[in-house]
Copies of this chain bind each other. A is one copy, B any other.
């Protein structure tokens, strides 16, 4: 063995050894079918000579965001951000003060806000996340995330990422997978923290997209201004369509937690060779939340995991991840 070969071999060990040999790549997972399915899938698709080997350029993994990689209760974080921006918007446009749904937002009546229709929410989005440049929006979201805290956990929202899912994302990455978010959330909102919090760069955030307008600032410099115009609504059957537009390849692995992820899992699972499709079930009211009809609990409007989805998962061989049973800890700050 020459020195060069020795050096190269050492480098490979350095990169790949950690995941497979010396240490557990998923230390926050309890042993069980979910952990086993993930580890076996990665081995099967990346080990040289494996009959299910996937070439590096085809290694695509997609992750829903809210409720799959971080907390979405009692409200999705982006909606909290929008609600908290309303007073600043009303200051600039005082006419909104007496118009619904802004009147209710300003009243602080949480019960009334919980009854908001999709149209109400769309109106709030339309005034709170548009009209500024994409750079200014990014700065504002970044600033908000640096101080805003979750009402129950009293931690920054970016601390409420699921530690077990961060380990999965990391295992996929060091195994040559390209990780994508495929989320119904707003693209630029998620991009403001996806690289820092998940190691997922902006070009790998597939999301709901609003229009922007190209123009010039007072100094004649080109700017992109966010407009109240929906270009692509990334939910349900639109997720495989968005995956086709953004990637042009079928994923090998997909993770979700609600009926809005069904088609993405279906599309992923229908590919040939080894495919992994998993659903996070929120069944741990003590450490996180328990919600959704799949466990006989009321539908909470966000992250609906219906009995039909549960049956679909069984039928198609999708693995359901029980937070209660499969996760040793939920957050990095859990002991």
A→B interface (CB under 8 Å): 3-8, 10-11, 57, 134, 178, 187-188, 191, 201-203, 205, 209, 211-214, 221-222, 224, 231-232, 237-238, 240-241, 244-249, 263, 266-267, 270
**Closest beta carbon of chain B to A17's beta carbon, Å:** 14
Number of copies: 2
Can you list 27 A-B contacts (CB < 8 A)?
A: A3-B7, A4-B6, A4-B7, A4-B10, A4-B11, A5-B7, A6-B7, A7-B10, A8-B11, A11-B11, A57-B201, A134-B244, A178-B203, A202-B247, A202-B249, A203-B248, A203-B249, A205-B248, A209-B245, A211-B241, A212-B241, A212-B245, A214-B237, A222-B240, A224-B240, A231-B232, A231-B245
B7 x A221 contact (CB < 8 A): no
Residue of B nearest to A245 (CB): B209
Give chain B residues whose Cβ lies under 8 Å from the Cβ of A202.
247-249
Give chain B residues whose Cβ lies under 8 Å from the Cβ of A214.
237-238, 240-241, 263, 267
B4 x A246 contact (CB < 8 A): no
- Which of B7, B187, B231 has a CB less than 8 Å from the CB of A7? B7
A212 x B244 contact (CB < 8 A): yes
Give chain B residues whose Cβ lies under 8 Å from the Cβ of A205.
248
A201 to B240, CA, bound (A): 18
A177 to B183, CA, bound (A): 27
Give chain B residues whose Cβ lies under 8 Å from the Cβ of A266.
222
Given known pairs A4-B10, A187-B248, A232-B231, the reply for A224 and B241 (CB within 8 Å) is: yes
A245 to B11, CA, bound (A): 36
Residue of B nearest to A241 (CB): B212
Given known pairs A7-B3, A214-B267, A222-B267, the reply for A191 and B241 (CB within 8 Å) is: no
Ranked nearest first, the 7 interchain pairs of A and B with the lowest CB-CB distance are: A7-B7, A202-B248, A214-B237, A3-B3, A203-B247, A4-B7, A222-B267
**Closest beta carbon of chain B to A226's beta carbon, Å:** 10
A263 x B211 contact (CB < 8 A): no
B246 x A246 contact (CB < 8 A): yes
Residue of B nearest to A212 (CB): B241
A201 to B246, CA, bound (A): 11
**Closest beta carbon of chain B to A129's beta carbon, Å:** 15
A248 to B246, CA, bound (A): 12
Give chain B residues whose Cβ lies under 8 Å from the Cβ of A213.
241
Residue of B nearest to A215 (CB): B237
A50 to B266, CA, bound (A): 48
Residue of B nearest to A14 (CB): B4
Give chain B residues whose Cβ lies under 8 Å from the Cβ of A232.
231
Most buried by B among A6, A187, A244: A244
Give chain B residues whose Cβ lies under 8 Å from the Cβ of A209.
245
Most buried by B among A7, A246, A266: A7
Give chain B residues whose Cβ lies under 8 Å from the Cβ of A221.
270
B8 x A6 contact (CB < 8 A): no
**Closest beta carbon of chain B to A303's beta carbon, Å:** 21
B187 x A245 contact (CB < 8 A): yes
Give chain B residues whose Cβ lies under 8 Å from the Cβ of A8.
7, 11
- Which of B10, B134, B249, B270 has a CB less than 8 Å from the CB of A222? B270
